[in-house]
Every structure is written in structure tokens, then in C-alpha cells.
Homo-oligomer: A and B are copies of this chain.
Amino acid sequence: MNINPTSGRPLYEQLMFGIKQDILLGILQPGDKLPSVREMAQQQLVNPNTVAKAYKALEGQGVIDTVLGRGTFVAEDSSDFGPDRQQMNQFKRQLNDLLTEGMYIGLSRQEIADLMNEWYGGTHEANRK
């Protein structure tokens, strides 16, 4: 998981994102314990408040469970968060914007497809369906 403070995306969102990704990739399994708020804050060089906010939001989504005094754990049924309509629409809008941008800087359809394949091939071979 990589946190990029200059990307403009909220840090807490990037954290949520990274954790969900780790679950989808199987790096984190249901029942696994997450780093404590303070540990995670040190690892990722962010403010503990930011981690706490991410954990709280994930708990609200049912992705993780917090047990007072023991820690935070990946929920048992955490991996079935499929795309809802709102997320899909947002994604399509973003893809739309990105392809417009790509076309503008002179990238062909093939070049963009290549970049896409590169990403899947390089980092996520094991996860393709």
C-alpha cells in the first residue's frame, strides 16, 4: 500500500482504498488483525487521526471490526463488496475523462490499451478473473 500525500486524494480515502485492495488481493484474510492506529500511522507517515478516520469509515462499511482493547480485524464477510450503481457511474465518468485526456495528449487507443495491460500484467497477474 502506498500513500501519496500530493495526489490530491484525501489520505484517509487512500488508506481505505489500500486496505480494501489488500483484502481483495488476499494479503489480508478475514479475521486477520490490522496494525494498530498508531502503528499504521507510523508506517504510512500520516497523522493517527487520519488512520482512525479511515478505520472508522471501514467499520461503518462492514469491512473491518473493532474490538475495544484488542484491536481491529478484517471482517469475516468482507470481500463481497461489489460495485453499486453510484460507484459504477463515478467510475465511468472518470474513465471518460481519462480517455479524453489521453486522446488529447496524442495517445492512440492501442497505446492506452497497452498501458492498461501493462498495469494488469505487471502488478496483478494473480488477481485476474
**In the complex, what distance in Å separates the CA atom of A35 from the CA atom of B103?**
23
A24:B103 contact, CB within 8 angstroms: yes
Q: Which of B105, B108, B119, B129 interacts with A129 by CB under 8 Å?
A: B108
Name the residue of chain B whose CB is nearest to the CB of A95: B115
Q: How far is the CB of A119 from chain B (nearest CB, A)?
A: 5
Determine the main DSSP class of A at the interface with B. helix
A91:B101 contact, CB within 8 angstroms: yes
Copies, count: 4
A86:B62 contact, CB within 8 angstroms: yes
B106:A79 contact, CB within 8 angstroms: yes
Q: Which of B6, B103, B127 interacts with A103 by CB under 8 Å?
A: B127
B85:A84 contact, CB within 8 angstroms: yes
Interfacial chain B residues near A6, Cβ < 8 Å: 65-67
- Lowest 8 CB-CB distances: which A-B pairs, in order? A84-B84, A83-B105, A6-B65, A82-B106, A87-B105, A108-B129, A5-B67, A83-B106
Interface residues of A (CB under 8 A from B): 5-10, 17, 20-21, 24, 60-63, 65-68, 70, 78-88, 91-110, 112-113, 115-116, 119-120, 124, 127-129
